[in-house]
Amino acid sequence: MLRWRAGLLCAGALVVSAPAAVPAQSQGASPPPTSPGTQTNPTPFDVSVFAELPAMEGPEISPNGKFIAAKIAVAGTQYFAIVPLDGGKPKLIGLGENDLNKWSWVNDDWLVIGVGQLVPMEGDSWYVTRSLGVSAAGNKIVKLAANDAAQDADDIVWIATDGTPRVRMALQTSIYSDDPGFWPQVEEIDVSTGRRKPVLRGREGIWNWYADGSGAIRMGIGMSLDGRTQRAVYRESGEGSFKTIDKVKTHRDTLTVPAMFLKEPGKGLMIADDADGFSALYELDLSTLERGKQLFASKGFDIGGLLPDESGFGYVGVYVNEDKPGIRWTDPALVALQATIAGMIKGGEPRIVSLSRDRSVAVVHVGGANAPGAYFLYRTADQSMQRLVTNNDTIGMKRMNPVRTIRYRARDGLEIAAVLTLPAGKKSNLPLIVMPHGGPFARDTEEWDWWTQFLASRGYAVVQPNYRGSSGYGTPFTQKGQGQWGLAMQDDLNDVVPELAKLGIADPKRACMVGASYGGYAAMRAAQRDGKLYRCAVAFAGVSDLNRMLNQNRNFLGSDARRDWLKMQAPDLKAVSPLNYPGEFSIPLLLVHGKKDRVVPIVHSRAMASKLKGVGKDVVYIEQPEADHHFSRSEDRLEFLKALEAFLAKHNPA
């Protein structure tokens, strides 16, 4: 039943010392330049500069402020690293074929990380997840629940706050739905030894468990095997039986559940829609499921979640995602700290990303939508700001091509927000790249984007419309995308072209569409349906056949609900699938896909390329043997950008 375990992580768990190739802090480094000036060098950076992986991603400082855990890039490959802040050598943890999905400090000496890997199982490929304890010294890795974990074993529901290396983790012990071990149980695990003790047995139908700040398991979220109904169970404390507090039909209603448990019995916080359909933070009475007063809102936008305090029973800030993402601190001390740091950085956009337990040391990112920036270490004792690492050594702290948000009206009057990037020093009659985001339940904001900055450096205006169905603009806006894949969602993309022409920014006769994932689907759809508007299209890891996606989900838990959802995205999936209409393609198309893509199977691009070649259409197909869905290797980024540059130079020169 669990025969795949022996192979999982066999290529991982390799700890090696990191020499000078690993970015380390520069002692006494000065803050970034005070001028917000834009890069105007007439000689653009080489394509390889934009293909560089960011030197550091997701830095988390240890509670004692002595280490940083993060993804780092070494020679074009990403590793998990533990970086001592006393000048010692960082440690790299190589994970082989495993994805590194998450990491958190448990105490001063230990972290827990979550990894995943596709493994052969039951004649198919299954994605298996595991958790590992990793010592801060980087010399010890402990596999958690190694002997009996089944498919999913990485759900950390609580981390101890008393300094001990304890977590509570939900995990499966069986892959068969008629076995009690199929439904996740909760165990307390010492990540330094792997020792375990049971906390809560699995309950039929309950898939996710949630703990309060003390570690008591207070709530579970479940669904039927077909996924078509969901329910929430709750109890007042860590003892006693659970009762069902809410039950809904999937895709029709939303469960009423707390975003956080408060210390006061029966009280919590919830994130729910306000009268206009934008999510906001409210008090919640768990005994009646009635919400109380509104505590926080971001006018015109959904909020992104809470930053818990050290007790786990309160919060210190709220994630916001307006035209640009950020944190709105609610703790007065952190409001003051953010203001102090901001006062030290002129012309930059400092953002606190991680804090030590006593808040004496902070990791700060300084950069912006037009600058990859750098990470700095701020110490309150002497108000010093030391540079840890520059995310792109060649670009450094330079500001590149300007980025702003515009708004326009779709043909039916719906307002659409779009991120616009222009070549530095240019703003009129430009060749245009329309770049839809993936998801499609996602959105683009004003953040550093290596694709758009590369294209702008080559003279293109790049616009990223947040078409109907995108997230972040309230439930009604998202719902307007239902049934509109390849239809009104596609129209929203097209409607930005005449708008930018009217503003004098873009030449409407020189437009191409470039996208990835759902954006890649939209690019194929544009080449098939809207060739009169575009000169060419580029799709990375795009979906070409929606019915194939439908069949792809058939063996998953909750597959019926997934099928229901996909069928809701268009009146006729076949009619909006580009694969079915190769003869209608009227513009050149570049297809690029990674063989190790775990999100969109490569068959979507293979089949599309084959059909187009079969009817004599202008298509270029590049298959990347080592690439995944997320461009995790700089080598794959470089190959893609070179192909993109050559394709655009031929079909839509700047």
User: Which CATH number belongs to the domain containing residue 487 in this structure?
Assistant: 3.40.50.1820
State the Cα–Cα distance between residues 450 and 372, nearest whole angstrom: 9
State the Cα–Cα distance between residues 381 and 420, nearest whole angstrom: 41
Q: Report the pLDDT value the prediction gives residue 87, as an integer from 0 to 100.
A: 84
Element spanning 366, H or E = strand 361-368
**594-to-119, 308, 639 alpha-carbon distances in Å:** 18, 38, 11
- Inter-residue contact 71 to 391 (CB < 8 Å): no
Asked, for residue 578, whether it belongs to a domain, the answer is: yes
Q: Report the pLDDT value the prediction gives residue 593, as an integer from 0 to 100.
A: 98
Amino acid at 484: Q
Domain boundary among 296, 327, 358: 327
Helix (H, G, I), strand (E, B) or coil at 550: helix
Helices (H), 348-429: none
Task: Answer whether residue 314 shows pLDDT above 90.
Answer: yes
Asked, for residue 413, whether it belongs to a domain, the answer is: yes
Q: Report the pLDDT value the prediction gives residue 32, as an integer from 0 to 100.
A: 44
State the Cα–Cα distance between residues 138 and 645, nearest whole angstrom: 41
Residues 421-470 pLDDT 10s: 999 999 999 999 999 999 999 999 999 999 999 999 999 999 999 999 99
Same domain assignment for residues 422 and 287: no
Encoded tokens for 118:
């596709």
Indicate the pairing of strand 110-121 with strand 124-135. antiparallel
pTM: 0.92
Task: Convert 24-59 into a string of H (helix), E (strand) and C (coil).
Answer: CCCCCCCCCCCCCCECCCCCCCCHHHHHCCCCEEEE
| CA-wise closest residue to 368 among 394, 339, 389, 397 | 397
Quote the domain boundaries for residue 294. Answer: 258-327
Same domain assignment for residues 280 and 427: no
State the Cα–Cα distance between residues 132 and 7, nearest whole angstrom: 15
Q: Residue 353: CB partners within 8 Å, gap ≥ 6?
A: 59, 363, 364, 365, 375
Same domain assignment for residues 562 and 433: yes
Residue 445, beta-bridge partner list:
none
- Inter-residue contact 438 to 240 (CB < 8 Å): no
Q: Report the pLDDT value the prediction gives residue 12, as an integer from 0 to 100.
A: 37
| Burial 274-295, CB ≥16 within 10 A → b, else e | eeeebbbbbebebeebebeeee
Q: Is 36 left (phi over 0), alpha (psi -120 to 50) or beta?
A: alpha
Task: Answer whether residue 183 shows pLDDT above 70.
Answer: yes
Same domain assignment for residues 413 and 322: no
| CA-wise closest residue to 568 among 274, 248, 228 | 228
Indicate the pairing of strand 166-171 with strand 155-159. antiparallel
State the Cα–Cα distance between residues 208 and 253, nearest whole angstrom: 19
Q: Report the pLDDT value the prediction gives residue 111, as an integer from 0 to 100.
A: 97
Per-residue confidence at 26, pLDDT binned at 50, 70, 90?
very low
Task: Answer whether residue 338 shows pLDDT above 80.
Answer: yes
Domain count, the chain: 2
Helices (H), 316-360: 332-344
* The dihedral sign for the CA sequence 61, 62, 67, 72: negative
Same domain assignment for residues 304 and 449: no
User: What is the gyration radius of the CA atoms in the chain, in angstroms?
Assistant: 25
Per-residue confidence at 277, pLDDT binned at 50, 70, 90?
very high
Encoded tokens for 408:
């326009």
Asked, for residue 569, whether it belongs to a domain, the answer is: yes
Asked, for residue 320, whether it belongs to a domain, the answer is: yes
Query: In this structure, what DSSP letter does residue 385 have?
Result: E
Same domain assignment for residues 458 and 323: no
Same domain assignment for residues 411 and 313: no
| CA-wise closest residue to 199 among 180, 177, 217, 183 | 217
Asked, for residue 433, whether it belongs to a domain, the answer is: yes
Q: Report the pLDDT value the prediction gives residue 409, as an integer from 0 to 100.
A: 98
Same domain assignment for residues 310 and 417: no
| CA-wise closest residue to 620 among 510, 542, 537 | 537
Asked, for residue 641, whether it belongs to a domain, the answer is: yes
Indicate the pairing of strand 506-516 with strand 536-540. parallel
Q: What is the mean pLDDT of the chain?
A: 91
Residues 366-415 pLDDT 10s: 999 999 999 999 999 999 999 999 999 999 999 999 999 999 999 999 99
Same domain assignment for residues 301 and 415: no
Same domain assignment for residues 510 and 614: yes
Q: Which residue has the tokens 């700040």?
A: 213
State the Cα–Cα distance between residues 4 and 358, nearest whole angstrom: 43
Cβ burial of 489 (10 Å; 0-12, 13-18, 19+) is: buried
Per-residue confidence at 555, pLDDT binned at 50, 70, 90?
low
- Inter-residue contact 223 to 229 (CB < 8 Å): yes
Asked, for residue 211, whether it belongs to a domain, the answer is: no
Cβ burial of 162 (10 Å; 0-12, 13-18, 19+) is: exposed
Helices (H), 279-358: 332-344
Residue 536, beta-bridge partner list:
512
Domain boundary among 308, 327, 346: 327
Residues 64-115 pLDDT 10s: 999 999 999 998 888 999 999 988 889 999 878 888 999 999 999 999 999 9
Same domain assignment for residues 426 and 534: yes
Domain boundary among 281, 305, 327: 327
Asked, for residue 74, whether it belongs to a domain, the answer is: no
Same domain assignment for residues 423 and 291: no
| Percent of the chain with pLDDT strictly greater than 70 | 93
Encoded tokens for 347:
């012309």
State the Cα–Cα distance between residues 5 and 148, nearest whole angstrom: 9
Q: Report the pLDDT value the prediction gives residue 256, as an integer from 0 to 100.
A: 85
Strands (E), 549-618: 589-594
Amino acid at 382: D
